[in-house]
Amino acid sequence: MKLERGDLLHLATGAAFLGAGGGGDPYLGRLLARAAIDAFGAPELCPAETVPDGARVLTIAMLGAPTIMLEKAVAGDEVDMAIRRLEAHLGETADYLMPLEIGGINSLVPVMAAARLGLPLIDADGMGRAFPELQMTTFNAHGVSTTPLALTDDHGTWLLLEAPDAGSAEGMIRTVSVALGCSAVLCSYPMTGRQAKDCSVHGTLSVARDVGRAIHSGTRSADPVGALIEHMRTTPHYAECRLLFDGRVVDVRREVEGGFSVGHLRLAHVENRDRHMEIVVQNEFLLAREGGRLRAVVPDLVCLVERETAQPVPADSVRYGQRLKVLGVSAPPVMRSPESLSIFGPQAFGLEEAFVPLESLADA
Amino acid sequence: MATRIGVDVGGTNTDAVVVVDGRVVAAHKTPTTADVTRGVVDAIGAVLAASGREVDEVEAVMIGTTHFTNAVLERKGLLPVGVVRVALPSTAAIPPLTDWPEDLSALVGGGSWLVRGGYQYTGEVADALDEDGLVRALREMDARGIRSVALTGLFSPVNGAMEARAAEIVHNEHPDAHLTLSSTIGRLGLLERENAAILNASLVDLSRRVVDAFRAALSALRIEAPLFISQNDGTLMNDGFVARYPVLTFASGPTNSMRGAGFLSGLDDALVVDVGGTTTDIGVLTRGFPRESFIESDIGGVRTNFRMPDLLVRALGGGSRVAERDGEVHVGPESVGYRLTSEAVVFGGTTVTATDVAVAAGLADIGDRSRARRLPGDTVRRGVERVQGIVEEGVDRMKTSAEPLPLVLVGGGAALVERDIPGVSEVVVPEHAGVANAVGATIAKISGETDRVFSYEKTERAEAIETATREAAERAVAAGAVAESIETLEVEELPVAYVPGGSVRVRVKVAGDMAGATAGISP
C-alpha cells in the first residue's frame, strides 16, 4: 500500500492529535511530504510484520524547535545527507525507513525522506505519541542502541555521534542542535528488521491517518468530539478514549525550567462552575488532574481539542478563554511496560504521581 | 469639540456616523453601490448634513472597508507579483505559493526567485545576502513586466536589516516598483508571512486607487481632516500606510462592529450578535476587544498568521429568503442582499425575506406594514422561530461558561431577533445599533507590534520586553500614532519549546492616539 498525496492532510491532523499538544505543527511536514511526493512519487507503507528479520532499518526525524522550523523549514538535501552519512558509517544501505515519533511534524518528515530516497516506510514508530527527548523511545526501552547517529543541517554541516547511552546522546545532540540554529535532521537508532518488529509501536502511521480522516469527516456531524472518541475506540491500541473535561481556559502560566517550558493550564467546566481541571504541560500535555484527583498521566495521552470541530490544539496555542474538550487516550501496551515506564513514565518528567492506566482511574 | 466621521463599507450597506465627543449625533445607512467610492461620498455628505456640523469641525474621518478582502475573494483587481525569498539554502524544499489555490496563484504568481541570505533565530547572520543573485532576479522580473515585488527574508521579524538592504537594491534597480517587505506586516513563520506579503503586493495598485478615491471624495466635500482606515485588530492606519499595506484591513468589519457594540452599550464583556443583510456574526467581547481566533487564518484559501476575531458566521440577515421546502420553513442561506429595498414584500417586491417576517410579526416596523399582513400566519410564526433558533444555537456555541453574559444586538437586521434568549443575562439593543460598525471605526487607536525571540540567559527579561516595546512603539508612530500617548496593550511571552537556554518568543502590541487629531473620545 502506498501513502498517497491525498492521505497527507489526514495524517497531519491525526499526528497532531497523537502529539498530545507537542511535536510541532504538522502543517509544515505536510507541505514537505507533498512536495517530495510530487517530485519523487508516493512511498510504500509496509506493516511492521512484513519486514524481513535481517533488513537494515533507520529512523529519521527533525530535531529542534517547532517555532523555528516554521521559519527555517527544510532545504531537502540535509535529509538525504543524514541517511547517507549513517549508511556510509555502517557500511550498509538502508532497506527501510521508520518514523522515530508519530506525534506532530515527525510523522511527516519520514514520508518526505522515503519519497526522496525511494525507500519503503515501516508503519510503526518508537514513541506512539510525541516526546521531547531522544532516549524516550520504545526502541531504547527494549535495548536498541540510539547510536551511531548522524545529525545534519541545511548548510552542509554533518556529524556522526557514538555515545555510551541514549541519555548522553540526547544531551550531546540537544547542545549541538542549538549551534545548528535549533533545527536539524537526525538519523538514529539503526536496527534490524527483527528489532523493528519487536521494539516499535505498530501501525501508528495508518492509525494517525485514519484518526485524521475521522476528525475531518466528524467535523460535519452533530457531535465531532463524540465521533472522534467513537473512532479511537476502534483503533488497535488507543482504544481506551474518554472525555475527561469540557471547559474553558481560565488560566495559562508558562515558565522556563531547566531549558524546557513548563506550563500549568486551568480550565473551568462549561456547565458546572465548581469543576476545575489542571493540566501540566512540558512541551506536551503530561497530566490532567481534577480537584486534586488524577484523571490521566503520561505516557497515556492527554489531548486537547476544539469543542466544535475536534481539531487538535497544540500546547503553545492554548490561550485564555478558549473552549476546549480534554480527552484521555490509553498508550499502547508496549509503552506501558516497566522498561518503558522507567524511561518515559511520570518520573522522567519530574512528576510525583506514579503511572496509573487511564482505565483504572475513576471517571468523572 | 471633537467631531469624527466613521464609515463602514459593507457588502450590503454603507453606513456613516458623525460622533461628537463620544456621542453619535447623526447616522446614515445606504445600500452599497457598484461604485463604492461614490457611495462613500454620498454617505459622508448626507450624514454631515444631518448632523448640522460644518466640514471644518471634522477632526478625522475613519473608514472601514471590505474592498481588499473582496478583491482577494473575488480574484479582482489583483496584480501579478514578483516573489523574492532571501533564505537559501534554508526553506528550499517548500517553494513560494505552495498550497495556494491554483486560480489565485495563476493570477498573482508572477514568478518566484530564491536568493541566498538570512538570519538565525538569534538575529545573527546565517548567510550574507547574495546581492548579485538579487539583481539578476530583479532584471528577470523586469523583463517579464512585473511591477510589484514581495520580499521575504529568513527571520526578518527578528532582524530587518537584510530586508532593508534588499529594499535599497530593489529601489536602485526598479525605482518605480511597489515593494512589500514581509517584516512590516507579518510575524514569525516564514510561509505565512510570505503569503501575507504576496497578497499585499497584489493589492497595492487597488489600494492606491481606493485611497486616492477616498481622498478625492473628502476633498470634493472640502473635508481637510486626516483619513484613517481600520485594520483587522480594531486599530487604525493613516491613509499613506494603508496605501502600502492594504492586507492589514482584512476582517476589520467584524472587529469594528464588535468594538462599536461594546462602546454603544457601555459593556466591555459581552456576547455580540451582528445581524447584517446577508450574514450574522456572533462573537465575544473581552475587555472591549474581540476574542481572537486561534486557528491560522485563511483568506481566499491562503494561509496567513494574522490574528482574526473569533466569529461564528451564520447565513442569516435581513435579506435572507424565507421559503417552505419539504414542509419546513427555511430562512437563508440565499439572500436578496442590497436589493432588499426593491425585492422584499414590504418594499413592494415579491420575495419573502426575514425582514418581511419580522415586520409581519410586529418585531420591526420597516417599509409598508400593510403589505406584510398578506403573509400566512403560520409562515410568519415558523419563520420567526427559525431565525430565533439560528441565533440561539450560535450564541450557545460561542458562550464560554455557564455564567450568563449580557448580549449586545447590533446591525441593520437587529430587529429580526426576539429579545428573549436563553442563557443570556440581558439583551441590550443600544441606540444606533444599526450602525455599530461605523461607530467602532471612530473609537479606534493606532497600534504597532513586534514579534521576536530573545534568550533570557543573554538578555535580561525586563530589557528584552523594553526593547520589544520600544520597537512596537516606533512602528505605531510610523503608522500615525502620537508617541506620548502610546500604551502597551499586550505582552505575550512564549517559551520556545524543545530548546534549552531560555529562548522566549516575545510579542508586544502597543497603541496610541491618532496624530493630527485632538483629544481622544471618552465614552
Residue B297, pLDDT above cutoff 80: no
Residue B356, pLDDT above cutoff 60: yes
Closest CA to A189 of A339, A61, A74, A91: A61
Burial call B301-326: b when 16+ CB within 10 Å, e when fewer: ebbbbbbbbbbbebebbbbbbbeeee
* B115 in contact with A, Cβ within 8 Å: no
pLDDT tens-digit profile of B393-420? 888 878 766 678 899 999 888 888 888 8
Q: Where is B272: in which H helix or E strand?
A: strand B270-275
- The pLDDT value given to residue B490: 80
Beta carbons of B246 and B196 less than 8 angstroms apart? no
Radius of gyration, alpha carbons of chain B: 24
Q: Which residues in chain B have Cβ-Cβ distances shorter than 8 Å to A72?
A: 87, 90-91, 121, 154-155, 190
Closest CA to B18 of B55, B56, B52, B48: B48
Which residues, at least 6 apart from B77, have a Cβ–Cβ distance to it below 8 Å?
Answer: B71, B203, B205, B206
Closest CA to A68 of B91, B249, B347: B91
* B475 in contact with A, Cβ within 8 Å: no
Question: B13-20 and B23-31 as β-strands: parallel, antiparallel, unpaired?
Answer: antiparallel
Could you tell me where the DSSP H helices lie in A41-117? 66-72, 77-90, 109-117
* B504 in contact with A, Cβ within 8 Å: yes
Beta carbons of A243 and A222 less than 8 angstroms apart? no
> What are B163's three cell numbers?
530586508
pLDDT tens-digit profile of B319-349? 899 988 888 888 988 888 778 888 999 999 9
> What are A207's three cell numbers?
492509525
* B121 in contact with A, Cβ within 8 Å: yes
- The pLDDT value given to residue B518: 42
Q: How confident is the model at residue B7 (pLDDT cuts 50, 70, 90)?
A: very high
CB contact under 8 Å between B89 and A132, yes or no, is no
Q: Where is B107: in which H helix or E strand?
A: helix B102-108
Phi then psi dihedrals of residue A271, to 5 deg: -100, -35
| CA contacts within 13 A on the Cβ side of B370 | 0
* Of the partner residues B90, B401, B502, the one whose CB lies closest to the CB of residue A268: B401
Phi then psi dihedrals of residue B352, to 5 deg: -80, 120
Q: How far is B134 from chain A (nearest CA, A)?
A: 19
Residue B520, pLDDT above cutoff 60: no
Q: How far apart, in whole angstroms, are the C-alpha atoms of residue B248 and residue B185?
A: 7
Beta carbons of A60 and A80 less than 8 angstroms apart? no
A121: left (phi over 0), alpha (psi -120 to 50) or beta: beta
DSSP letter assigned to residue B145: T
- The pLDDT value given to residue B471: 92
Q: Which residues in chain B have Cβ-Cβ distances shorter than 8 Å to A322?
A: 294
Nearest residue of A to residue B456, measured between CA atoms? A256
Percentage of the residues of chain B whose pLDDT score is greater than 90: 45
Question: B320-325 and B328-335 as β-strands: parallel, antiparallel, unpaired?
Answer: antiparallel
Nearest residue of B to residue A116, measured between CA atoms? B93
Radius of gyration, alpha carbons of chain A: 19
What is the CA B465 to chain-centroid distance, rounded? 27
Residue B57, number of CB atoms within 10 A of its CB = 15
* Of the partner residues B155, B284, B400, the one whose CB lies closest to the CB of residue A71: B155
What is the CA A208 to chain-centroid distance, rounded? 10
Q: Which residues in chain A have Cβ-Cβ distances shorter than 8 Å to B89?
A: 75, 77, 154-156
Closest CA to B204 of B247, B253, B235, B166: B247
Counts of helices then strands in chain A (DSSP H, E)? 11, 15
Place of cell 467602532: B440
Q: How far apart, in whole angstroms, are the C-alpha atoms of residue B186 and residue B390?
A: 36
Mutation to test the A interface, candidates B125, B187, B492, B499, most A Cβ within 10 Å: B499
> What are A100's three cell numbers?
522515530
Place of cell 555515545: A163
Q: How far is A322 from chain B (nearest CA, A)?
A: 7
Q: How far apart, in whole angstroms, are the C-alpha atoms of residue B144 and residue A169?
A: 52
* Of the partner residues B92, B284, B496, the one whose CB lies closest to the CB of residue A67: B496
What beta strand segments (E) does chain A contain? 45-47, 56-64, 96-99, 121-125, 149-152, 158-161, 183-192, 201-202, 241-257, 260-269, 276-282, 284-290, 293-297, 301-306, 323-329
> What are A277's three cell numbers?
481541571
What distance separates the 2 farthest-apart alpha carbons in chain B?
A: 76
- The pLDDT value given to residue B523: 30
Which residues, at least 6 apart from A85, have a Cβ–Cβ distance to it below 8 Å?
Answer: A150, A152, A158, A160, A187
- The pLDDT value given to residue B507: 85
**B positions 55-84 inside 8 Å of A (CB):** none
- The pLDDT value given to residue B522: 32
Q: Where is A166: in which H helix or E strand?
A: helix A166-179
Q: Which residues in chain A have Cβ-Cβ distances shorter than 8 Å to B496?
A: 65, 67-68, 182, 261
Q: Region B152-177: what's the mean pLDDT?
A: 93
* Of the partner residues B154, B291, B503, the one whose CB lies closest to the CB of residue A72: B154
Q: Which residue has the higher pLDDT, B412 or B193?
A: B193
* Of the partner residues A65, A76, A273, the one whose CB lies closest to the CB of residue B499: A65
Could you tell me where the DSSP H helices lie in B361-460? 369-372, 377-398, 436-442
Q: Which residues in chain A have Cβ-Cβ distances shorter than 8 Å to B128?
A: none
CB contact under 8 Å between B93 and A27, yes or no, is no
- The pLDDT value given to residue A261: 62
DSSP letter assigned to residue B353: B
CB contact under 8 Å between A261 and B495, yes or no, is yes
Residue A75, number of CB atoms within 10 A of its CB = 22
What is the CA B147 to chain-centroid distance, rounded? 26
* Residue B99, helix vs strand vs coil: coil
CB contact under 8 Å between A75 and B401, yes or no, is no
CB contact under 8 Å between B496 and A155, yes or no, is no
Mean pLDDT over each residue of chain B, to the nearest integer: 87
Q: How confident is the model at residue B144 (pLDDT cuts 50, 70, 90)?
A: very high
Which residues, at least 6 apart from B511, have a Cβ–Cβ distance to it below 8 Å?
Answer: B235, B445, B446, B447, B448, B476, B481, B486, B487, B489
What is the CA B417 to chain-centroid distance, rounded? 26
Which residues, at least 6 apart from B428, have a Cβ–Cβ distance to it below 8 Å?
Answer: B265, B267, B270, B406, B407, B408, B409
Beta carbons of A195 and A139 less than 8 angstroms apart? yes
Q: How confident is the model at residue B521 (pLDDT cuts 50, 70, 90)?
A: very low
- The pLDDT value given to residue B173: 93
CB contact under 8 Å between A315 and B502, yes or no, is no
* B498 in contact with A, Cβ within 8 Å: yes
List, as one string, the DSSP characters of B486-514. Answer: -EEEEEEEEE-TT-SS-EEEEEEEEEEPB
Q: How far apart, in whole angstroms, are the C-alpha atoms of residue A78 and residue B88?
A: 13
- The pLDDT value given to residue A256: 63
Beta carbons of A247 and A304 less than 8 angstroms apart? no
Mutation to test the B interface, candidates A67, A78, A157, A277, most B Cβ within 10 Å: A67
Q: How far is B180 from chain A (nearest CA, A)?
A: 18
* Of the partner residues A154, A258, A283, the one whose CB lies closest to the CB of residue B497: A283
Angle subtended at Cα B260 by Cα B256 and Cα B266, rounded to the nearest 5 degrees: 150
Could you tell me where the DSSP H helices lie in B221-324? 239-244, 252-265
Beta carbons of B504 and B452 less than 8 angstroms apart? no
* Of the partner residues B188, B286, B397, the one whose CB lies closest to the CB of residue A67: B188
Q: How far apart, in whole angstroms, are the C-alpha atoms of residue B250 and residue B232?
A: 5
Q: How far apart, in whole angstroms, are the C-alpha atoms of residue B174 and residue B160?
A: 21
Q: Which residues pair with A267 in a beta bridge?
A: A249, A277
Give burial (CB, 10 Å; 0-12/13-18/19+) of A308.
middle
Q: How far is B292 from chain A (nearest CA, A)?
A: 9
In tens digits, chain A (364 residues) has pLDDT values of 999 999 999 999 999 999 999 998 889 999 999 999 999 999 999 999 999 999 999 999 999 888 888 899 888 999 999 999 999 999 999 999 999 999 999 999 999 999 999 999 999 999 999 999 999 999 999 999 999 999 999 999 999 999 999 999 999 999 999 889 889 999 999 999 999 999 999 999 999 999 999 999 998 788 999 999 999 999 988 999 999 999 988 888 877 665 556 789 999 998 888 999 999 998 899 999 999 899 999 999 999 999 888 999 999 888 777 889 999 999 999 999 999 999 999 999 989 999 999 999 987 6
**B positions 352-381 inside 8 Å of A (CB):** none
* B176 in contact with A, Cβ within 8 Å: no
Q: Is the pTM of this model over 0.95?
A: no
Q: Which of A259-263, B192-196, B249-253, B511-515 comes out lowest in average pLDDT?
A: A259-263
* Of the partner residues A65, A258, A270, the one whose CB lies closest to the CB of residue B401: A270
Question: B3-9 and B13-20 as β-strands: parallel, antiparallel, unpaired?
Answer: antiparallel
Task: Name residue B17's amino acid.
Answer: V
* Residue B427, helix vs strand vs coil: strand
Which residues, at least 6 apart from A360, have a Cβ–Cβ distance to it below 8 Å?
Answer: none
pLDDT tens-digit profile of B25-71? 999 988 777 777 788 888 999 999 999 998 889 989 999 988 888 88
CB contact under 8 Å between B89 and A260, yes or no, is no
Question: B270-275 and B280-286 as β-strands: parallel, antiparallel, unpaired?
Answer: antiparallel
Beta carbons of A57 and A190 less than 8 angstroms apart? yes
Q: Region B462-483: what's the mean pLDDT?
A: 89
> How far, in Å, are A38, A97, A198, A361, B100 from residue A6 at the CA level?
11, 21, 30, 39, 16
